[in-house]
Amino acid sequence: MSFSHRIKELRQKHNVSQQELADLLGVSTRAWRFYESGEREPNMARLILLADYFDVSLDYLVGRLDKAEDN
């Protein structure tokens, strides 16, 4: 699963708005929509914020693992 699909899935699962996540990352809602559409990707610091917020690994967030938890 791609990063853009993964963050949209996580956002919906956690019932969080695009605006809330844009505020968390310090970006515009438009920038967040670019992330979800796959047109842009956040920098490393923002990836870490997202992984911490959703309590998942970076590998899961970017689609390198299919399971959210490391075993």
Q: Map out the domains of the chain as residue ranges.
A: 3-56
Q: How much is the pLDDT for 66?
A: 80
Q: How much is the pLDDT for 32?
A: 96
Residue 71 pLDDT grade (very low, low, confident, very high; cuts 50, 70, 90): very low
Rounded-to-integer distance, Cα 28 and Cα 19, Å: 8
pTM: predicted TM-score of the whole model, two decimal places: 0.87
pLDDT tens digits, 8-54: 999 999 999 999 999 999 999 999 999 999 999 999 999 999 999 99
Helix H or strand E encompassing 47: helix 44-54
Record: fold of 3-56? 434 Repressor (Amino-terminal Domain) (1.10.260)
Q: Does the CA dihedral 63-66-67-71 come out positive or negative?
A: negative
Q: Does the CA dihedral 47-52-53-57 come out positive or negative?
A: positive
Instruction: Name the region of 26 (left: φ>0; alpha: ψ -120 to 50; beta: rest).
Output: left
pLDDT at residue 69 above 90?
Answer: no
